[in-house]
């Protein structure tokens, strides 16, 4: 169950609107951030808040890249695989990340810390090759830089300052 | 380097957002005050029409004309949307624009809302731009506090509010009709019949403009249509344009230049030329759904009209110039692009859902050295079927494929005759 205050907050927004469904994505984000991913329970709760059938919300949830219907790690690493990153050695980057984390694309590390997912162009082509980790872009990646980023995240240090 | 007057990226400080105070010091929100005081909505539309401003999201449709489609007696409420989805590969101009100058977009939205009598606006942004969204949100708060948004703006009878919407990420959401469904909380298939200007969001009149397009509007109202028009390099290319350059250049990035600046000048002067050891082969002029620029065309103006003149299928798109060097395999590049499109297809209509994976498979086999000469006419005929798709996504998706087999055919033949990718020493890795 989601906490009472979150439920109330979402309910307030939804009931104030002439078009409750317009909050569908916002509700999914909120529930995902509470549960860590959009679990079946979250999907049902979200649908109930919006006055929808779970299936109606499901057809939205499964459409979007940033709604996770399966459990993910604390940090979700989205690796850009579009053309500019491809040109800048995206495959080498993916291979390195897979080896380093001991997972394949789509997998989550055993300690539940990292999930590795592909993503299409995230709009940081001037920084290729890039990944997006929990919404923050990291660019001009090299194996050394990846090591440093992963170490910092593991130690829960403040995020790296990018040398842009 | 040739320096030009900038409209929206002036006052640019490294990595900083222009505050409302700084925006105001360089004439910010003067246009809004002048518009509300001196012009009727009709006059605003006329000025924007006369300025020659065109949609910067890729289609290049005249902005004033789009606004004029909204009938005077159209029902209320009416909606205005800033499309900041920017999911076209290679395109990152709106990211830079909004993170540097969010107030230009806000002021543009308020003026546009006055022109079409919209009372509610949405700022639709993609999820990988969280940092940008925060800059925008802060600017929105500043603008609200200063009375540039809300009820009776600057004492006028016009009221307007802006609601940011953070998308959950799919390319098709940037397509205007897909975007309408995305905002409504429907599955974002672009399957709306009729015009959004009469039946858009919740069946009501809706105007959707790209963020960059909206950002030019305040300067046009402040300095006039003639001034804006004269900024461009030639008659058919009015105003400025934000180019985003990526690939094998020394200084990839974003450059606000006169519209119609030549490819040569953009690449050699502004982007610093090719990286050492790399030789130019071609570029995609405006994102993944444009056609490779044929060999030898270095002096082509980068604008809607000049690109169209190269020949059938050539379009300017978003001004996202992606530069490929001589040692980059264009079959591999086209394969990467078509993979992107088959993954991002919304799946609503058959030509797109079924046709793009088929084309991907043919290209994959050619890239892996298993191609045959008769794949080429097959690629061409399959690509032509994409015109039967419901929206512009599928015809756009095959544009680079057609460019590859028509303008760079020798690379395809080499893959087939050598039974391998000639750009890789051994059999290639996955593109």
Nearest-by-Cβ selection for A83 from B184, B253, B336: B336
Beta strands at B206-210 and B240-247: parallel, antiparallel or unpaired: unpaired
Here the ipTM equals 0.95
Q: Do B90 and A125 touch (CB under 8 A)?
A: yes
Give the residue on A whose Cα is nearest the Cα of B283: A84
Nearest-by-Cβ selection for A83 from B337, B346, B430: B337
Q: Do A123 and B344 touch (CB under 8 A)?
A: no
What pLDDT is attached to residue A156? 73
Contacts of A135 in chain B (CB under 8 A): 127-128, 130-131
Mean pLDDT, residues A19-40: 97
What pLDDT is attached to residue B428? 44
Among B76, B87, B88, B89, the residue to mutate for chain A (most A Cβ within 10 A): B89
pLDDT-above-70 percentage for chain A: 95
Range B232-325 has CATH code 3.20.20.10: no
Q: Where are the domains of chain B?
A: 20-230, 232-325, 330-418
* Inter-axis angle of helices B350-367 and B330-344, nearest 10: 150
CATH superfamily of B20-230: NADH-ubiquinone oxidoreductase 51kDa subunit (3.40.50.11540)
| Residue A130 to residues A80, A84, A86, A137, B271, Cα–Cα distance (Å) | 6, 10, 10, 7, 20
**Tokens encoding A62:** 């499964």
- Give yes or no for residue A161 having a pLDDT over 80: no
pLDDT digits (tens, 9 = 90+) for B29-70: 999 999 999 999 999 999 999 999 999 999 999 999 999 999
Q: Do A91 and B429 touch (CB under 8 A)?
A: yes
**Tokens encoding B14:** 């490294």
| Residue A57 to residues A42, B186, B189, Cα–Cα distance (Å) | 10, 9, 15
Q: Do B89 and A29 touch (CB under 8 A)?
A: no
DSSP state of B166: E
Q: Do A84 and B187 touch (CB under 8 A)?
A: no
What pLDDT is attached to residue A160? 46
- Give yes or no for residue A164 having a pLDDT over 50: no
| Residue B189 to residues A52, A117, B78, B150, B180, Cα–Cα distance (Å) | 19, 24, 22, 32, 9
b/e per residue, B25-57, with b = 16+ CB within 10 A? eeebbebbeebbeebebeebbbbbbbbbbbbbb
| Residue B100 to residues B22, B72, B165, Cα–Cα distance (Å) | 12, 35, 19
pLDDT digits (tens, 9 = 90+) for A60-115: 999 999 999 999 999 999 999 999 999 999 999 999 999 999 999 999 999 999 99
Domains in chain A with CATH codes: 4-61 (1.10.10), 75-154 (3.40.30.10)
Shortest distance between the Cα of B428 and any Cα of chain A, in A, equals: 11
Shortest distance between the Cα of A108 and any Cα of chain B, in A, equals: 21
- Give yes or no for residue A163 having a pLDDT over 90: no
Nearest-by-Cβ selection for B92 from A26, A91, A126: A126
Contacts of A67 in chain B (CB under 8 A): 168
Instruction: Classify B77 as helix, strand or coil.
Output: coil
Q: Do A25 and B344 touch (CB under 8 A)?
A: no
Residues B88 and B289: beta-carbon distance below 8 Å: yes
CA distance B54 to B58: 9
Per-residue pLDDT of chain B (431 residues; tens, 9 = 90+): 788 999 999 877 777 899 999 999 999 999 999 999 999 999 999 999 999 999 999 999 999 999 999 988 999 999 999 999 999 999 999 999 999 999 999 999 999 999 999 999 999 999 999 999 999 999 999 999 999 999 999 999 999 999 999 999 999 999 999 999 999 999 999 999 899 999 999 999 999 999 999 999 999 999 999 999 999 999 999 999 999 999 999 999 999 999 999 999 999 999 999 999 999 999 999 999 999 999 989 999 999 999 999 999 999 999 999 999 999 999 999 999 999 999 999 999 999 999 999 999 999 999 999 999 999 999 999 999 999 999 999 999 999 999 999 999 999 999 999 999 999 865 444 54
Nearest-by-Cβ selection for A123 from B86, B165, B170: B86
Query: Could you tell me if residue B260 is left (phi over 0), alpha (psi between -120 and 50 degrees) or otherwise beta?
Result: left
Helix H or strand E segment including A10: helix A4-16
Nearest-by-Cβ selection for B95 from A59, A86, A123: A123
DSSP state of B385: H
pTM: predicted TM-score of the whole model, two decimal places: 0.96
Q: Do A67 and B168 touch (CB under 8 A)?
A: yes
Q: Do B244 and A23 touch (CB under 8 A)?
A: no
- A162 falls in which pLDDT band (50, 70, 90)? very low
CATH top-level class of B330-418? mainly alpha
What pLDDT is attached to residue B399? 97
């Amino acid at each position: 169950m989601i906490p009472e205050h979150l439920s109330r907050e979402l309910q307030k927004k939804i009931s104030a609107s002439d078009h409750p469904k317009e909050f569908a994505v916002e509700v999914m984000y909120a529930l995902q951030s509470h549960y860590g991913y959009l679990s079946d329970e979250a999907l049902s709760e979200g649908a109930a808040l919006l006055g929808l059938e779970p299936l109606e919300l499901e057809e939205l949830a499964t459409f979007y890249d940033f709604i996770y219907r399966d459990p993910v790690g604390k940090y979700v690493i989205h690796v850009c695989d579009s053309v500019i990153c491809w040109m800048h050695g995206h495959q080498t980057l993916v291979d390195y990340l897979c080896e380093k984390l001991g997972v394949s694309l789509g997998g989550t590390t055993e300690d539940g810390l990292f999930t590795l997912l592909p993503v299409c162009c995230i709009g940081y082509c001037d920084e290729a090759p890039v990944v997006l980790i929990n919404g923050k872009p990291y660019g001009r990646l090299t194996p050394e830089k990846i090591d440093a980023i992963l170490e910092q995240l593991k130690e829960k240090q403040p995020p790296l300052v990018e040398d842009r | 380097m040739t320096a030009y007057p900038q409209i929206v990226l002036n006052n640019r400080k490294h990595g900083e957002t222009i505050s409302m105070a700084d925006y105001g010091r360089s004439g910010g929100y003067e246009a809004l005050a002048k518009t509300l005081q001196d012009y009727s909505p009709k006059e605003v539309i006329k000025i924007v029409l006369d300025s020659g401003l065109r949609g910067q999201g890729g289609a290049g449709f005249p902005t004033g004309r789009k606004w004029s489609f909204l009938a005077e007696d159209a029902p209320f409420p009416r909606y205005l949307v800033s499309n900041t989805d920017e999911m076209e590969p290679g395109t990152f101009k709106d990211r830079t624009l909004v993170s540097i100058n969010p107030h230009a977009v806000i002021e543009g939205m308020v003026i546009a809302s006055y022109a079409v009598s919209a009372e509610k606006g949405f700022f639709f942004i993609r999820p990988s731009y969280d940092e940008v969204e925060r800059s925008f949100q802060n600017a929105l708060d500043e603008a609200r506090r200063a009375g540039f948004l809300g009820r009776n703006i600057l004492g006028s009878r016009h009221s307007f509010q802006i609601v940011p919407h953070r998308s959950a990420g799919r390319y098709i959401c940037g397509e205007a009709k897909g975007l309408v469904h995305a905002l409504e909380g429907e599955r974002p298939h672009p399957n709306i019949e009729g015009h959004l200007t009469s039946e858009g969001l919740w069946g009501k009149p809706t105007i959707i403009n790209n963020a960059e397009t909206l950002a030019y509007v305040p300067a046009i109202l402040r300095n006039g249509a003639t001034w804006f028009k004269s900024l461009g390099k030639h008659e058919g290319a009015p105003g400025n344009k934000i180019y985003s350059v990526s690939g094998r250049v020394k200084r990839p990035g974003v450059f606000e230049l006169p519209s119609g600046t030549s490819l040569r000048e953009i690449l050699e002067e502004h982007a610093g030329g090719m990286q050492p050891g790399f030789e130019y082969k071609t570029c995609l002029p405006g994102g993944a759904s444009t056609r490779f620029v044929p060999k030898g065309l270095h002096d082509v103006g980068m604008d809607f009209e000049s690109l169209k003149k190269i020949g059938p299928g050539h379009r300017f798109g978003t001004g996202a110039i992606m530069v490929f060097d001589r040692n980059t395999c264009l079959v591999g590049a086209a394969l990467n692009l078509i993979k992107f499109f088959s993954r991002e297809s919304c799946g609503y209509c058959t030509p797109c859902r079924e046709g793009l994976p088929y084309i991907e498979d043919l290209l994959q086999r050619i890239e892996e050295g298993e191609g045959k000469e008769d794949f080429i006419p097959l690629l061409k005929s399959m690509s032509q079927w994409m015109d039967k798709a419901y929206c512009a996504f599928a015809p756009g998706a095959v544009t680079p494929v057609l460019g590859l087999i028509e303008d760079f055919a020798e690379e395809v033949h080499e893959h087939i005759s050598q039974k391998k990718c000639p750009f890789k020493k051994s059999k290639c890795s996955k593109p």
